[in-house]
Amino acid sequence: MREFVGAIREFEAALQISYEDVTARLNLANALTEVQLFSEAIRHFEHVLVLRPSYSEARANMERNKETVCDWAHRDQRFQRLRGDVEAMLQRGDVSLVRPWHALSYPWPADMLKKMSRSFADKTLRDVALQGLVPLNPQPLPPSKQRRLVVAYVSYCFSAHPTTYLLGSVFRLHHRARVEVHCYALNAPDTSQQRAAAARECEGFHAAHSWPTWRVATAINDNNVHVSVNLDGWTSMGRTNEIFALTPAPVQIQYMGYPGSLAAPYVPWLLTDCVISPPEMQGEYAEKLLLHSRGYYVNDYVRLFPSHPPTLPANSPTNSHLARERARVGLPAKGPVLVNLNNLYKVSPQVFALWMEIMKQVPKATLTLLALPEDARPYLRHSVEASLGGGEGGGGGRGHTPDCISLSTFLGASI
């Protein structure tokens, strides 16, 4: 963070000397994005595009910021322009300037997302070749009654990260008589409970943050891993995919972190379910779909919240206890509460419009969102007012005001 603050000062000084310096202004906008001053960054991206309308990098970064703050004005037209830039790059054989992870929430067709992913997969293969690395030829002895199946999970997320929160039960509940579990942590060690739990619950927990790519792949191969699981996909632009490009295991699967197609020939399987990946959409994936019969999205609810739902005091009526619990987190005493705790860049205007329709139909309903970032607050207020009206007799037909939407870093303060 300190480095970005210093960089911001330097770029601002450069603009004092040359106000129309496009490179300095783009770099300033990117640095402002890193310190989460999104609205100010957007202003500078827009200035860059006034000076140089064809600057695709500035347009891509600006659109990402606008999604982050839920600025949906003229969204379709804006993304149509950016889509043209990306398609032109793909036709030239270049790597997409928009990351596939970002594009999952963009209004673009699935076949385009697959092409974007393939451009990153091809770049990964080129990067591995430039390092002088060649794919391995893993040949572990097959599982048998005397020999367990060996599974390796590889990720940058062995920390207080949602992926590790969710997967805690998976590491713990593998049938140990049949399955040997290894985790390869590519992120730096920390003191999080989630990392400590994963380390306790695996036969082998490998702190591989300082290992070069070839060493991680070789270690997986040397441990006779049968199935390696890529938990990052394109959410991480680090070494995870380079490791898998070296094919350290005979079976390589993508799971959990990235719900789209990697389009990488070295990861031919995707563990998913019929809701996330309807079978009729198999053609939109480069992978073969391993469809879980119930649901691929696991959690570790029992361990994380052993006392939830809380036991009600014997002498306390249910309603009064619930009212106190709601008041504690800043919610109204009565009425349904709709909760979405995803980052706001994952909320599309179409989904938000559906929530507003529910709000129109359900008396005294409250919608609670995660207020990250703060810059999203005025845009969401505007969307609420446009959908529901402000006050009695307003356009929403039910007299909702923006106070029916709760925004905070957890639960609480209304916008």
Supply φ then ψ for residue 342, to 5 degrees.
Answer: -80, 160
The end-to-end CA distance of the chain, in Å, is 27
pLDDT by residue (tens digit) across 210-253?
999 999 999 999 999 999 999 999 997 779 999 999 999 999 99
Helix 56-68 to helix 22-34 angle (10° resolution) is 30
pLDDT range class, residue 392, cuts 50, 70, 90? very low
Closest CA to 165 of 195, 204, 201: 195
CATH entry, 314-408, from 3.40.50.800, 3.40.50.2000, 3.30.1540.10, 3.30.750.24:
3.40.50.2000
Q: Which pair of structure tokens corresponds to residue 363?
A: 């008396």
Q: b vs e for 43-76, b when ≥16 Cβ sit within 10 Å of the residue's Cβ?
A: ebbebbbeeeeebbebbbbbbbbbbbbbbbeebe
Q: Domain 149-301 carries which CATH code?
A: 3.40.50.11380
Taking the domains of the chain in order of start, what are their residue ranges?
A: 2-96, 149-301, 314-408
Is there a common fold for 2-96 and 149-301?
A: no
Q: CB neighbours (10 Å) of residue 205?
A: 20
- Domain covering 2-96 assigned CATH 3.30.70.1230 in the classification: no
Band (pLDDT 50/70/90 cuts) for residue 19 is very high
Q: What is the pLDDT of residues 64-118, one digit of tens each?
A: 999 999 999 999 999 999 999 999 999 999 999 999 999 999 999 999 999 999 9
Chain CA centroid to CA 348, Å: 14
The residue among 204, 195, 242 whose CA lies nearest residue 223 is 204
Cis peptide before 259 (omega within 30 of 0): no
Decide if 194 contacts 169 (C-beta within 8 A): no
pLDDT tens readout for residues 157-182:
999 888 888 898 898 899 999 999 99
Cα 187 from chain centre: 17
pLDDT score of 385 more than 80:
yes
The residue type found at 216 is: V
Q: What is the pTM of this model?
A: 0.88
Contact present, 238 and 186 (Cβ < 8 Å): yes
CB atoms within 10 A of CB 174: 18
